[in-house]
Amino acid sequence: MSEPVKPISLTQFLIEQQRERQHINADLRLLLEVVGRACKAIAVAVGRGALGNVLGNAGAVNVQGEAQKKLDVLSNEILLQANEWGGHLAAIASEEMDDPHLIPHRYPKGNYLLVFDPLDGSSNIDVNVSVGTIFSVLRCPEGVDEPNAEHFLQPGSQQVAAGYTVYGPSTLLVLTLGDGVYQFTLDRELGSFVLTQRRLRIPEDTQEFAINASNRRHWDPPVRRYVEELQQGKEGPRGKDFNMRWVASMVADVHRILTRGGIFMYPVDNKCRDKGGRLRLLYEANPMSFIVEQAGGAASTGTQRILDVQPQGLHQRIAVFLGSKNEVERAAAYHAEAD
Ligand code: AHG
Ligand code: MN
Ligand code: MN
């Protein structure tokens, strides 16, 4: 559900946001344009696939202990190189880097911090299923010239912008500046993102859920109860049938929910409890939660609003329940009851 739209480019949209609505300043506008441009370059690389020699492993392991794919490394490089020279950033953090990347001294520094998951859904790269990029923009604390990891540890409610791209049948950019959610589609001939949906809204109710059900035996009781009730369908306490989808690219799963509703879950379970969860707070959970809330949905850890969580580490992981409001609230209520 969304308002119809006149076709304008991302550039024009951002200029209008700056000029008429004063939502953003020139630096933030440049930052978002540059991120958009970098994502176009990633879309080209993803699209070339085997022809571009971008499939398969890079041969290194990242700070998460996960084998890096060539496209993880390449996407990270593209985003870094595009963003470091423009003068709009103080530092950059990424899933693929242990520590923040400081802006080289030869370039001017700006007031924003950029954090991203350069390539989300890495396990889908080699099988030609949708992948994406997720990003979040924070303010650099005042008086800080050389930001370190600590300066990125801001609750998600302090994000000034967040977005993701999906490299799917078409390449999409979904963006929030804290005043609704906007969707742009890449016009491949023109090479520009064109506004195609304004003020996206997530239906409050849904009959679709997304969870990696292979982890069922590791789940905590409230998650088991919630999902079992969904699976019981018409005959169970919910009195209606639910359908299940799991792409295993968060961007694709969240994008489906933004388009037609649903609940996405990656709970903390016995398999990932020692790590705090599966998904990362700063560059997966927070930007997605900001977008989902801006579209009228909800995002919870099960016990707390995700955007209120005070991060403890750059690569901290967390439980995620997000999407259609009434379902997220029900899942949270089951956690509260279990307590
Ligand atoms: P990434 O490729 O950036 O490491 O993220 C993968 C994440 C997320 O996109 C997805 O929802 C989840 O991992 C998939 O987990 P499973 O492998 O358990 O399905
Ligand atoms: Mn990811
Ligand atoms: Mn990733």
212 lines ligand 1 (CB under 6 A): yes
Query: Band of the pLDDT at 138, cuts 50, 70, 90?
Result: very high
Q: Which residue, judged by its Cα, is nearest atom 18 of ligand 1?
A: 212
Among residues 309, 304, 269, 253, which one has the least CA distance to residue 286?
A: 309
Q: 295 CA to middle of ligand 1, Å?
A: 23
Q: Which atom of ligand 1 is nearest to the CA of 122?
A: 2
pLDDT tens for residues 146-180?
Answer: 999 999 999 999 999 999 999 999 999 999 999 99
CA distances from 332 to 172, 254, 257, 298, 320 (A): 31, 19, 18, 10, 11
> 124 in ligand 1 pocket by Cβ < 6 Å?
no
Q: How close are the terminal C-alpha atoms of the chain, in Å?
A: 36
pTM greater than 0.95: yes
Task: Starting from the CA of residue 118, give the closest ligand.
Answer: 3
Average pLDDT over residues 116-121: 98
CA atoms within 13 A on the CB side of 125: 30
Residues 41-98: pLDDT tens digits? 999 999 999 998 889 999 889 888 888 999 999 999 999 999 999 999 999 999 999 9
* DSSP letter, residue 281: I
Q: CA-to-CA distance for 193 and 78, rounded, in angstroms?
A: 18
Strand 298-300 and strand 263-266: the pairing is unpaired
What's the burial of 310, exposed, middle or buried (CB within 10 Å: 0-12/13-18/19+)?
A: exposed
pLDDT digits (tens, 9 = 90+) for 298-320: 999 999 999 999 999 999 999 99
Residue 1 has pLDDT above 60, yes or no: no
Give the residue-averaged pLDDT of 257-261. Answer: 98
**What is the structure's pLDDT at 5?**
62
Which pLDDT band holds residue 291 (cuts at 50, 70, 90)? very high
When pLDDT is averaged across residues 124-144 and rounded to a whole number, the result is 97
- Indicate whether residue 265 lines ligand 1 (CB < 6 A): no
The two tokens of residue 172 are: 């999409």
The alpha carbon of 123 and the centre of ligand 2 are apart by a number of angstroms equal to 10
Q: Determine the distance separating the centroid of ligand 2 and the alpha carbon of 165, expressed in angstroms.
A: 12
φ/ψ of 118, rounded to 5, equals -60, -35
Instruction: List the domains of the chain with CATH numbers.
Output: 10-198 (3.30.540.10), 208-338 (3.40.190.80)
Residue 84 Cβ < 6 Å to ligand 1: no
Helices (H) and strands (E) in the chain, counts: 7, 17
Instruction: Report whether pLDDT(2) > 80.
Output: no
Does ligand 1 lie within 6 Å of residue 250's CB atom?
Answer: yes
pLDDT of residue 66: 87
